[in-house]
Structure 1
């Protein structure tokens, strides 16, 4: 954690950046929370006090205690998020990968719903002036422009995020305080008595619980963006943000008490607390805040997909860096998946009120996953077992209660969230399991037995020179082993003579950023193994990294890459490099279990839309040869007995 703090000291600029990056989602929740709590029913003090009390204690227990105080301490070399936490604790059990995939899938589903509900809630404020206005086309245009701009990066727009969100939170506090000052009795809602009474006795308690949960959506962003802002900046800025949110919620509650017995009738308390002359400005600021909230969620989804790719939990897809700024990432495939999903959500529900049911479930699932992984982390850090189990029990009770409340809205829209989450989880699960199956049937041999043969092939002038420098990517974790398929490629398929043979292995570490390598001279100057150790957030541009290593080895006199053709060597011209990528193809899949065959079918479908091995490792295709090698499945088929007749 010391490294993190030194990179992000507590500064005014750091706090402003935190306001712009982290709090868009949770900061725009006042747009729809109280509207969802009251619904179409009659305004009554019991509901107002109970709803406010639930909001206050949810923000306190769920966001402040769980995330700001406890979870932010689980930093992975300064980085946070579900997959960073998974990388910290995955050695504690093979089962940990399943909740990690579920949490990642839920966050990606949330990336589709957040732009839809936040932008719709903001634009629907225009209904105050134009009751017959169709807001859906406006929302669709804003969403289309937002996703279209992703390819250019967010560096320029990002500079505006902090100041805009500062204006937004200041507006929330001022508007809320003006009504709160006139009805100070509303502060009684701080008492947990009102929250408990509402949960226990209100006839629509489950619906209210599901609506209240919307006030804490976005809490996961505090942890996910830890690496961008730093612990101290997040904690200090949260004090300001929470105060502004509570002022606004209590101000809305005071306005509702002033209209005791009335029907909300589609009106939004968020806009009702504004003076009429200010509403156009309020709608404009709310729209900007909604766009910022959506942008933050989209950027978070890109980072999540990039991490999942490098942890082998997602198909290999193209990752683009629009500029040289660290953290600027664009994932084209994820961008358009989110865009299509967002459009579907808007067209299916059309109104923010109908999206609320779908919104809470995705985040609720990710909260439960974080609770499970954090418990493992606390036990790993040797926190007293009673404390860790207490944390697990308390937050599972809280989040399970919210989950029941959200599930109660299943038929009203929650089904879509679960469907999207299930589809994304299935993709991650099939990709992960299929790789396990393929690795299980990859055969390794002792490389020592083949070193003399490889050395002689390199000197055998009767074999045509295949390449001066021949490079193979290997998945063997130990330098004493090699895939049988590589031996087959060098020796048996068609002998490949080279001046130097290279074996390159990439190990993805549990740390976000690692840039290390090791050199093993299996045969000095003739057979060399390179082991990369790269973090799960590092770019795996092997072609560039390998060239840098070769240049270092040449400078140190550890290897000679000059061409051995007489003419070329006379003029000190380097020999050519050729990368061999072995594509493992499974045969005899009928011998696999039914579930494994289904997984492999899905895997092959995903692979058809994913990057090839050479592109995923950043290799120049002009220097790459792809060889398909058989990867035999289990030999459970009965052997046929053939009889010779002649």
Structure 2
């Protein structure tokens, strides 16, 4: 038999008629974790105080390690592993794609090389450094970045802003599917260049695909451990990777320092419109590959902190510039080398290295490809969480493996991304075909982010900056988009299909939620308390349960949702000892456990608001039992002890029945086709994505799910018109002949008369025409009574007998009977 909980998990809030504050608010494990955290913070504070005493440099370093831009060496390494993986793999294929678009190294002259390097350098500088690091990352929502966090800051300035925000978020999530596929597959394909493995890969054509699939499954399997543990491992590898990029690039750059002239943007502009540019405007699609991963810097800001990205980005950019310029110097040096002029798929990144160093490069590139996927996966988790907060996606289960809320894990999204990535591999099979679809979705995300940033600046009274920012960055990114549209027929259609599918989910969920909330009604205490008081004291109605608990999203403690009132009184009233309306809120603190109670001056209606930290399990039954015990001990809730034994239940608390209310659109609702489709799509998504039963831990308690009609401007149907019955009314001259039971001859029903009544009447008519005595007997009886008694043969007419003249009975034939 269950006992009263030995730990008080919630702390009562300062509300009216609430129990006393509990002494114990945390479990033993949580107290130990908080103690470790406090000890680490104390140790860090002592270290900073010691550092500040060492002069100006020490005070400067202390400022860097405190405040919103706090820098931590440990989290800086995490930032390397979580944020920069995608942009760090760009040197693997950017120069290779450029040479392929220009027709090979033989057709690439000095003007083309300097133009490409200039475009790459200034794209990284303007897009990544200026737009994202210096501008976008200063605009955060409680430390979180990304397009959804940005939208939440400006949503009050116009409903139309939801369109670019949804489109950009959908495109980013679609790109999160393609990035693991293209990064890992291209890195694994680098194993083919190693002489010991070359023959093995030739014999097994699917070996590359099989290795890629295994790596992707393992990568998604370890996401539940959190980005902090993953980032520390990956961070060390990425640090080695970028150092390797810088060293290899600097070695080749030292052979031809003249390529530094490409730092002049004039070279890039001239080459873009030069006849030497064989690819035309499409070369911007190649240049865009060098900036992939820039959006991840902004979306992953909440995982690692803004200060750590500020601290690490200069090193990342220098390493990238060294490597790109080193590849450019190698191209100029080997432009006329016959060994490379006809080499198919020439990759300057690997060719500029010593053959012995190339082994290290291939191994590191495979690892970097895996890490590149991590940046997009963590960004996808953040975006989905923010979309849920905006009511653009259903409420999914979220786990927080680390102490900070920014590091989260969403199981459903993790495995959906995994399956979608495997589907991409199954369709395209290698990186060459996947790259045809890669990049198009990310250009859409960058354009929409630019629009939202400009709106934020405009309403932040920086209107001149907003105009200049919009003109410059929209011009650059529209060129990227136009160049990427050339990939549409070669695989870009798949990216757009994914984007539209995710956009459909966001739009329908948001529109359906808006329509539902527009119909939500509330009742004040004076409206519902009299009816509840009568029902509570009506002993003619048996108890539905001792306690009926309704879960509601409305956190206002002064009112009650009308749907709850209808649920109590609809059909058979649900009488109970106590009714409960419970709402749950998630706070930004990890271990918050508190509740507020409003009883409206009664002992049978309780409005409860539970506030839980983002790391606390939302198992409502556990906390509600504690609340009931607290209210029972304080005298606010009457005793509910039963004289009968209760199996697997709390003996001091009566039976509890949880009720969840779902809405369903009624056919009579006056609603547009678009609105009806949005609601139906939302209900279908809700059925697939799960329900509050799971994340609130109600499944073992047999909750009741009620479906209530959702009426939206109900249309009145046309009125019905009453008409008279179509059967013929009997006339006075019609004679009804009724045979006595013993005298009535048996009649066989026919297909035409279809019933016993008409058959008997037709038979009687025949008998009357053939047998005279029967007619004389009837006439004598009529004369004796002093009046004639008419009779009709059947409802269809049939034979008629005129009792007044005593004529012979005239019988119609069967055809005439059928016609009448």
Q: Does the TM-score normalized on the shorter chain lie above 0.5?
A: yes
Mapped to 2, the partners of 1:9 and 1:50 lie a distance apart of: 39
Show the counterpart of 2:266.
193
Equivalent positions of 1:223-622 (< 5 A) are 223-261=298-336, 262-263=341-342, 265-320=344-399, 329-380=408-459, 382-476=460-554, 478-479=556-557, 481-506=559-584, 519-531=597-609, 541=618, 543=620, 547=624, 550=627, 554=631, 557=634, 559-560=636-637, 562-563=639-640, 565=642, 573-588=652-667, 591-622=670-701
Partners of 2:77 and 2:235 within 8 A in 1: yes
Mapped to 2, the partners of 1:641 and 1:113 lie a distance apart of: 59
Q: CA deviation at 1:550?
A: 2.3
Partners of 2:669 and 2:714 within 8 A in 1: no
Mapped to 2, the partners of 1:473 and 1:457 lie a distance apart of: 21
Mapped to 2, the partners of 1:7 and 1:556 lie a distance apart of: 45
How many residues are aligned here?
641
Higher deviation after alignment, 118-127 or 475-484: 475-484
Q: Is 1:42 the counterpart of 2:104 in the alignment? A: yes
Q: Residue 562 and residue 7 in structure 1: after superposition, are their counterparts in 2 closer, same or farther (change >3 A)?
A: farther
Tell me which protein shows more helix as a share of its residues: 1
Mapped to 2, the partners of 1:353 and 1:448 lie a distance apart of: 69
Higher deviation after alignment, 37-46 or 419-428: 37-46
Q: CA deviation at 1:245?
A: 0.8
Higher deviation after alignment, 195-204 or 160-169: 195-204
Higher deviation after alignment, 317-326 or 210-219: 317-326
Deviation readout 1:293-329 (Å, 9 max, x if unpaired) = 1123223223322332343212344445568885554
Q: CA deviation at 1:39?
A: 1.4
Q: CA deviation at 1:7?
A: 6.9
Mapped to 1, the partners of 2:231 and 2:324 lie a distance apart of: 27
Q: CA deviation at 1:444?
A: 4.2
Partners of 1:507 and 1:534 within 8 A in 2: yes
Partners of 1:211 and 1:356 within 8 A in 2: no
Q: Residue 465 and residue 8 in structure 1: after superposition, are their counterparts in 2 closer, same or farther (change >3 A)?
A: farther
Q: Which has the larger radius of gyration?
A: 2
Mapped to 2, the partners of 1:410 and 1:291 lie a distance apart of: 26
- Secondary structure of the 1:334 match is helix
Partners of 2:662 and 2:708 within 8 A in 1: yes
- Secondary structure of the 1:409 match is helix
Q: CA deviation at 1:19?
A: 0.8
Q: CA deviation at 1:551?
A: 6.9
The two structures, once aligned, show a CA RMSD in angstroms of: 3.3
Select which of 67, 72, 96 maps to 1:11. Answer: 72
Show the counterpart of 1:139.
212
Q: Residue 24 and residue 496 in structure 1: after superposition, are their counterparts in 2 closer, same or farther (change >3 A)?
A: same
Partners of 1:442 and 1:631 within 8 A in 2: no
Deviation readout 1:164-195 (Å, 9 max, x if unpaired) = 11111111001111100111111111110111
- Secondary structure of the 2:70 match is coil
- Secondary structure of the 1:408 match is helix
- Secondary structure of the 2:709 match is strand
Show the counterpart of 2:708.
629
Q: CA deviation at 1:629?
A: 1.7
Mapped to 1, the partners of 2:367 and 2:77 lie a distance apart of: 16
Higher deviation after alignment, 559-568 or 277-286: 559-568
Mapped to 2, the partners of 1:390 and 1:564 lie a distance apart of: 72
Partners of 2:668 and 2:714 within 8 A in 1: no
Partners of 1:29 and 1:214 within 8 A in 2: yes
Partners of 1:198 and 1:205 within 8 A in 2: no
Mapped to 2, the partners of 1:112 and 1:4 lie a distance apart of: 36
Q: CA deviation at 1:334?
A: 2.2
Mapped to 2, the partners of 1:176 and 1:555 lie a distance apart of: 73
Show the counterpart of 1:78.
143
Partners of 1:21 and 1:161 within 8 A in 2: yes
Give structure 1 stretches of 5+ with no counterpart: none
Q: CA deviation at 1:241?
A: 0.5
- Secondary structure of the 1:493 match is coil
Mapped to 1, the partners of 2:629 and 2:271 lie a distance apart of: 69
Mapped to 2, the partners of 1:3 and 1:450 lie a distance apart of: 57
Partners of 1:33 and 1:215 within 8 A in 2: yes
Q: Residue 55 and residue 561 in structure 1: after superposition, are their counterparts in 2 closer, same or farther (change >3 A)?
A: farther
Partners of 1:469 and 1:561 within 8 A in 2: no
Show the counterpart of 2:740.
none
Select which of 171, 174, 186 maps to 1:121. Answer: 186
Q: CA deviation at 1:644?
A: 8.3
Q: Residue 28 and residue 517 in structure 1: after superposition, are their counterparts in 2 closer, same or farther (change >3 A)?
A: farther
Higher deviation after alignment, 236-245 or 418-427: 418-427
Q: Is 1:98 the counterpart of 2:171 in the alignment? A: no
Select which of 704, 719, 725 maps to 1:640. Answer: 719
Q: CA deviation at 1:268?
A: 1.5
Higher deviation after alignment, 122-131 or 476-485: 476-485
Mapped to 2, the partners of 1:633 and 1:539 lie a distance apart of: 38
TM-score by length of 2: 0.72
Mapped to 1, the partners of 2:634 and 2:683 lie a distance apart of: 45
Q: CA deviation at 1:146?
A: 2.5
Q: CA deviation at 1:20?
A: 1.1
Partners of 1:55 and 1:212 within 8 A in 2: yes
Partners of 1:72 and 1:80 within 8 A in 2: yes
Q: CA deviation at 1:502?
A: 2.2
Partners of 1:615 and 1:621 within 8 A in 2: no
Show the counterpart of 1:220.
295
Q: Residue 7 and residue 232 in structure 1: after superposition, are their counterparts in 2 closer, same or farther (change >3 A)?
A: closer
- Secondary structure of the 2:273 match is helix
Give structure 2 stretches of 5+ with no counterpart: 1-62, 726-820
- Secondary structure of the 1:580 match is strand
TM-score by length of 1: 0.90
Partners of 1:360 and 1:406 within 8 A in 2: yes
Higher deviation after alignment, 605-614 or 111-120: 605-614
Deviation readout 1:496-543 (Å, 9 max, x if unpaired) = 23333222345689x8989686544433443232346789x7778261
Mapped to 2, the partners of 1:85 and 1:618 lie a distance apart of: 33
Instruction: For CA contacts below 8 A with separation 6 or more, give which structure has more relative contact order.
Output: 1
Equivalent positions of 1:106-185 (< 5 A) are 106-128=171-193, 129=195, 130=198, 133=202, 134=205, 135-151=208-224, 156-185=229-258
Partners of 1:111 and 1:297 within 8 A in 2: yes
Higher deviation after alignment, 223-232 or 540-549: 540-549
- Secondary structure of the 1:463 match is coil
Show the counterpart of 1:207.
282
Mapped to 2, the partners of 1:321 and 1:392 lie a distance apart of: 37
Show the counterpart of 2:797.
none
Q: Is 1:31 the counterpart of 2:109 in the alignment? A: no
